[in-house]
Structure 1
Amino acid sequence: MKSPKQYQCQRVQGPLKLDGFLSDPAWASIPWTDAFVDITGDPGLKPRFETRVKMAWDDTYFYVAAELEEPHVWGTITRQNEVIFHDNDFEVFIDPDGDGRNYYEFEMNALGTIWELSLPVPYSEGGEPVWGCNLPGLIRKVGVRGRLNDPSDEDDGWSLEIAFPWEALRQYHSEKRTPPEPGDVWRVNFSRVQWQHEVVDGRYVRVPPHGTDLPQGLDPEEQSHPEDNWVWSPQWQVNMHVPALWGEVIFQS
């Protein structure tokens, strides 16, 4: 098995002030991850747009910030816990104890609409998603560098910041141990779904999979899509739901 990416997650004096643009000075000293790669790890499928992430933590939150290069920032889904990957989105996968069971998934589009769910076991093992696992106290912010949903020009991209409360993540740790101790390692990965699109009557419209939407609960990797899947730590296959292949986040003091 190929080695997963690793990230040394620094402790900060929180709480961070989140606005979607990473403007809190504490972010300046926090390193970026490597740029995202294709989900398969194939170097010949280099992403067209750069994506990178920063992580940090304090006594209350696990912080994630992402910067997404994007010449056409658009979003259509405004209802919470819809299937957000029907838009371009950013996704976070967290398995606190690294056992590949009872893990958490977060998705958000450029409108700031979110979908939270969990998997008792991966889809490949017969897992059925638990919808609407919204974490109490979660904070999320989006910043758009350009004009959202305006196809008449080109944008620079969008960024986001998320604060995941340790208290709410405790349910996904078999020993209920949160916040982590310095040196603890959590399995975490990030995914960016980037659809092909068309402009119809002045609006962005995604090119759907085979002209249809996916049924609720169906693993997105079970159909062929006109989309790109870019990730931090490669999965070596078109399947995000292999927690053993996620990256390792090592919490520092």
Structure 2
Amino acid sequence: MDGSHILVVDDHRDIRDPLAVYLKRHGFRTTTAQSAAAARDVLNKASIDLVVLDIMMPGEDGLSLCRHLQERGPLPVILLTAMTELADRVAGLEIGADDYVIKPFEPRELVARIRTVLRRASRVPKPLGEERRRIAFDSWLFDVEKRELIGEDGVSIPLSTGEFRLLQVLTQRPNLVLTRDQLIDLTSGRSAQVFDRSIDNQVSRLRKKIEPDPRNPRLIKTVWGDGYVFACEPRVVE
């Protein structure tokens, strides 16, 4: 993990350069880029293991570059965002970013997140695409378009809006540990009325519907100190 090549993309030199120095001190190889165009040039010439990417940049913004990176193939991305950029954070996660850090941030926190994302990326497949409309997992068929969860007996199980969104997020990101903040952003776009406990309650309700034994879940597992993981390999049904 240490020795991984990190690309820092930020148009602010006073953030970009000190961050690169800090990452080098913690054992990472680091390259910087002041724009999306410069980042594309680096990516065409060098092997990069993870991109730290500012969202707000002149010209092509970070979300556009993030989308391009995901189209190229699996490459972990951590977004740097402002506190007010909620919609952009959600959009970034939806198009494939692995995590985000809100400015101003502690470099130590970013290093910890980089190591966590690199560790996950080394063993986790990429999320299923949004175009996958019918997904089979365990003994269930999840019809995203019809918003139905169907058991092996053919009976449809009703899902609340929150449960549907949660199951959609989980099945699109199998074996990926998602924090409560990420789940909140992806399912509801964090509002003043949504808290960590709400996600815990939704997980509990969904477990009661899909787990053989909700008290000992094997599909939606708790990762203590991190969040939840959908520990199942969904299969696309044509």
For the criterion TM > 0.5, the same-fold answer is no
The answer to which structure, 1 or 2, has the higher relative contact order (CA under 8 A, 6+ apart) is: 1
Q: Which has the higher helix share?
A: 2
Structure having the higher strand fraction is 1
Q: TM-score, normalised by structure 1?
A: 0.29
